[in-house]
Chain A
Amino acid sequence: MPITDQEIKELSAVARQLRKDIIDITYWAGGAHIGGAMSMAEMLVLLYYKYLNVDPKKPDWEERDRMVLSKGHGGVGYAPLLARKGYFEFDQLKEFNKFKSPFGMHLDGLKVKGVDVSTGSLGHGLPIAAGLALGARLQKKNWRTYCILGDGECNEGTNWEAAMTINHYKLTNLLTFVDRNKLMIDGTTEQIMGLEPFADKWKAFGFIVKEVNGHDFKELSAAIDFALSQNKAPVVIISHTIKGKGVDFMENEVKWHYGGLDTDSRDKAKQSVDRMYG
């Protein structure tokens, strides 16, 4: 169903809160992968607040849709989203990264409710997502699998091994996203290990490619609606984003892959987010 203006308004409010939550956790934790958490905010919010068939009160419900956050360092963005959805108390996130905390930077599915797959090592999510999708199909289950990859992560050959598998088995019950924020730890993706022509690579592997502005709920939603409405071929949504989106001094800055905030920079970051939403 096409997204409505009212939905966009509500989702924007959720994303605004998520960005502030990410800033707070980064401040509490002493450091976090804030840049890539900000870039995927709209994807996560849209999936969890419009599309995913999940029930936070029954995190192990067998019929739920599955999410694989392959860019597991985005945990600082994923954890507050799960908390706000009601999987656990938000205040627990004050312990993010701390001694004996269930919340490490890369979330552990055995410790954090709502996390279907433990990720963190890059290039692992898509093969697992393929296995989930195969498993659902074999058991004639209607639940879907969603996987969010980082773009730098696509240097890992395992993604392309999985892409072959997904196409070979025509796993249209799996929807893949790439958070194309164009930055990695050591520089831009094109400086470090060029990905372009990126869409052509996915097309060559048999995927239908949708390229969207990853901060635009309308474009994202239309791409997802398309993917869910067809079963000819697997779909990848290349979501063009800005790393650090919402915090002016972080946006498109390589160094903000990971960083910490003091009270001053925390407040400035939140003010910047407020300006983003006007």
Chain B
Amino acid sequence: MSEGLTWNVYDANTMTQADIYGEVLCQLGERDPKIVGLSADLAKSTKIGKFADKFPERFFNVGIAEQNLFGVAAGLAKAGLLPFVSTMAVFTTLRAAEQVRTDICYQNLSVKIIATHAGTSFGAAGTTHHCTEDLAVMRALANMTVIAPADGIETANAVKACVNYPGPVYIRIGRGFEPRCYENEDYGFEIGKSVLMHPGTDITLICCGVTVLQALEAAKYLKQNDGLSVRVLNMHTIKPLDAEAVLAAVRETRRIITFEDHNIQGGLGSAVADVIAASGKGCAFEKVGIPDCFCIVGYPEDLYSHYQFDTDGIIRKVKEVMGKDFEEDEDWEDEV
């Protein structure tokens, strides 16, 4: 997986996902002269500026003009280059949604979009800079691959993996520092394949992004203190979804909760729900995330707690779902 790249895992203890992305892109840029970078006056914030510093002639700042940004990226891809584009998630997936759809996805161009400040990670900035809709929008675009890495190490893996992955790829990362869930890069990251973070047979927590570590901590706590066997899946790829892992969770644990830093409409939870519903199998199911409202203002850790996808919130939710009666009988009255 590392393909000769020399990423130092220890840096993941102090660097943000975006910092790591910038470093990895520099390494990739050294090996592949076709890689070019683009931003819209957010080179510094998104850390694509590291690439810009190293390869100034291969970096294009189009100013504060996101629609133009993705159109220019499409043109560069058409010219045979491999564009990496970075701006905030909200401007990527909403302001420039049609350019991403029509210029990039419709033409099935290999443009790699690394969008920062996703979810509520820029919580203090307010709703204009939150992005709790991107997974829903990107998931609906044909040809698009959608990835939400769990930490900096997985960001490095995802950015490396997308280089040779066909077509457009959307990778959403946060703004600030998030603690890492992986020790190193060698855990078999593969686009479209979830990672089993914690084995379990009572219930499955399907997570992406910042919720993965929180769920992992919750699973450890629940095992130790409540004797619960909680499976945690890192569903880093929202599209194509690892349906096999979801179906195995339905079959083997019969209870599923999804956790995401995103509106519960249209994101990871909805993608998982599609698979469950189509399976025809019964399964207790809940979605946790931003409950179809505009997120309140606050620092990310306070927001994770407020919306109940921090470790304590996840523990409470697991107990709640475990306490509900769920059976395979014909009595619908007592089902969850």
Binding site for B on A (CB under 8 A): 62, 66, 108-110, 116-118, 120-121, 123-124, 126-136, 138-139, 141, 157-158, 161-162, 164-165, 168-169
Contacts and interface: CB of A to CB of B under 8 A. Distances in A.
Interface residues of B, number: 28
B78 interface: yes
Q: Which 7 A-B pairs have the closest CB atoms?
A: A131-B75, A135-B79, A127-B71, A161-B68, A161-B65, A131-B72, A128-B75
B68 A136 contact: no
A157 B66 CA distance: 11
A161 B80 CA distance: 23
A132 B73 CA distance: 9
B95 to A, nearest CB: 11
Contacts of A158: 65, 67-68, 71, 99
Contacts of A157: 67
Given A117-B107, A165-B62, A165-B68, A130 B79 contact: no
Nearest to A165: B62
Contact of B76 (A123, A124, A134): A134
B71 A130 contact: yes
A157 B64 CA distance: 12
29 contacts: A108-B106, A117-B74, A117-B78, A117-B107, A118-B107, A121-B98, A123-B67, A124-B102, A124-B103, A127-B68, A127-B75, A127-B103, A128-B74, A129-B75, A131-B79, A132-B75, A133-B75, A134-B60, A134-B72, A135-B80, A138-B57, A158-B68, A158-B71, A161-B67, A162-B68, A164-B65, A165-B65, A165-B72, A168-B63
Contacts of B70: 127
Given A109-B107, A117-B78, A127-B99, 14 more contacts: A118-B102, A124-B98, A124-B99, A127-B72, A127-B74, A128-B75, A129-B75, A131-B72, A131-B79, A135-B36, A138-B58, A139-B80, A165-B63, A169-B60
B225 to A, nearest CB: 56
Contacts of B102: 118, 120-121, 124
Nearest to A72: B102
B81 interface: yes
Contacts of B78: 66, 116-117, 128, 131-132, 135
A110 B79 CA distance: 15
A123 B99 CA distance: 10
Contacts of B106: 108, 118
A131 to B, nearest CB: 2
A271 B60 CA distance: 52
B249 to A, nearest CB: 37
B220 to A, nearest CB: 48
A124 B68 CA distance: 8
Nearest to B73: A131
A135 B68 contact: no
Contacts of B75: 117, 127-135
Nearest to A169: B60
B127 interface: no
A118 B102 CA distance: 8
Contacts of B270: none
B106 to A, nearest CB: 6
Nearest to A117: B78
Contacts of B36: 135, 138
In this complex, which of B62, B72, B75, B81 has the most chain A Cβ atoms within 10 angstroms of its Cβ? Answer: B75
A104 to B, nearest CB: 12
A124 to B, nearest CB: 6
B108 interface: yes
Interface in B39-76: 57-58, 60, 62-63, 65, 67-68, 70-76
A137 to B, nearest CB: 9
A136 B79 CA distance: 6
A244 B310 CA distance: 63
Contacts of B74: 117, 127-128, 131
Contacts of A135: 36, 75-76, 78-81
Nearest to B106: A118
Contacts of B67: 123, 127, 157-158, 161
Given A128-B72, A128-B74, A161-B68, A138 B81 contact: yes
Nearest to A158: B67
Contacts of A62: 80
Given A109-B107, A127-B99, A139 B79 contact: yes
Contacts of B77: 131
A128 to B, nearest CB: 4
A45 B235 CA distance: 53
Contacts of B63: 161, 164-165, 168
Contacts of B103: 124, 127-128
A130 B65 CA distance: 13
Interface in B150-167: none
A127 B63 CA distance: 13
Given A134-B76, A135-B80, A161 B57 contact: no
